[in-house]
Amino acid sequence: MNGRIPVILNPAARSTQAAAREAAIRALTPAPELVLTNAPGEASQLAEELARAGHPLVVAAGGDGTMNEVLQGLCRANADRQPGQPHSALGVLPVGTMNVFALELGLPAADLTECWRRIVAGNRREIDLWQAGDPYFVQLAGIGFDAEVIQETPWERKRRFGPLSYVLSAVQVLARKPPLLSVHVPGRPTLHGSVVLVGGGRHYGGPVPVFPRADNQDGLLDVLVFRGLGGWEFAQMLRAIVTGGYEPAEDIDFLQAREFTVTADPPAPVEVDGELASFTTPVHFRPAPFKLQVAV
């Protein structure tokens, strides 16, 4: 093992833009150990191998999808560490389509050199780590509408239209009848709705703080349940964003919880950190048995 920090990069179909991104990362100082992926899911395997080889920090270069892949591998390795044994930390170079987690950490996505300077400086922050079923996540999760939007947005569309691709998919999804979702929180009445958004941090899907009071170090998930899928629900969400918090309303429910389960009729897709999960509802949300160290 050399002393360079490993950076896992998805070459993104070898496009011209991807080549320029790779060159920019190689030019960083001190030079990283650039590790390129060749297939979907490989970033997770590579991250696990690097963590098990003893690297104290593994960096994901890409968007939230690449970040979450790297997160899975790191967490599998960290889960096998003995109590008191140091965990491998996660670093993020935000060079993807969506970089919500980097935004949450306050990393300057427009300045790759500054991001790298912060990563190599050695500053770490311990944040909450969550599981939706078996997969780990740190920033956000969703059941219903937003997961369907991700499901309907192929890579070719994202590459061509960027964030606008999700808007195009949303139009398609809104034309369908939404599933009936049920949120089961221990000790509380069951909540019902058409969409469930889950936030580990303030930001969800972009720069807008959908969960204004969320804190990724408080041991709680912020949960938003849309009872329907219309203008009133979105209007109340926008009001909460502007005013800094959710108040009791007729069309949305807001709560904070450490653990809960979401069921759906019919079964609904699930996404974590902007990536579609390999399973549908029911899904059980709970804290992971350890925290995550991130480079800031």
pLDDT given for residue 1 in this prediction? 58
Q: Give CA–CA dist 94/97, Å, rounded.
A: 9
Domain with CATH 3.40.50.10330 in the chain: 6-122
Measured CA to CA, the distance from residue 165 to residue 153 in angstroms comes to: 7
Q: What burial letters (b/e) apply to 95-127, b meaning 16+ CB within 10 Å?
A: bbbbbbbbbbbebebeebeebbebbbeeebeeb
In 3D space, the residue among 24, 16, 14 whose CA is nearest the CA of residue 61 turns out to be 24
User: How would you class 248 by CB atoms within 10 Å of its CB: exposed for 0-12, middle for 13-18, buried for 19 or more?
Assistant: exposed
- What pLDDT is attached to residue 117? 97
Phi first, then psi, for residue 220 (nearest 5°) are -130, 145
Instruction: Determine the pLDDT at residue 246.
Output: 81
**Segments of the chain assigned to CATH 2.60.200.40:** 137-287
User: How much is the pTM?
Assistant: 0.90
Q: Which CATH architecture has domain 137-287?
A: Sandwich (2.60)
Longest dimension (CA), the chain: 58
Tokens 């500054």, residue?
A: 114
Q: Does residue 191 sit in helix, strand or coil?
A: strand
Q: Tokens in use for 4?
A: 């360079």
122 secondary structure, DSSP code: T
Alpha-carbon span 61 to 118, nearest angstrom:
14
The answer for residues whose C-beta is within 8 angstroms of residue 88's C-beta and 6 or more apart is: 50, 51, 55, 56, 57, 58, 74, 77, 78, 293
What's the pLDDT at 13?
47
Element (H, E) at 285: strand 283-287
Give residue 218's pLDDT.
98
pLDDT of res. 203 = 95
Pick the CATH number of 6-122 from 3.60.20.10, 3.40.50.10330, 2.130.10.10, 3.40.50.800: 3.40.50.10330
| 296 residues of the chain, pLDDT tens digit each | 568 999 999 876 446 677 889 999 999 999 999 999 998 889 999 999 999 999 999 999 999 999 999 999 999 999 999 999 999 999 999 998 789 999 999 999 889 999 999 999 999 999 999 999 999 999 999 998 888 888 878 777 767 777 677 777 766 767 677 899 999 999 999 999 999 999 999 999 788 899 999 999 999 999 999 887 665 566 667 777 667 788 777 688 999 999 999 999 999 999 999 889 999 999 999 999 999 999 99
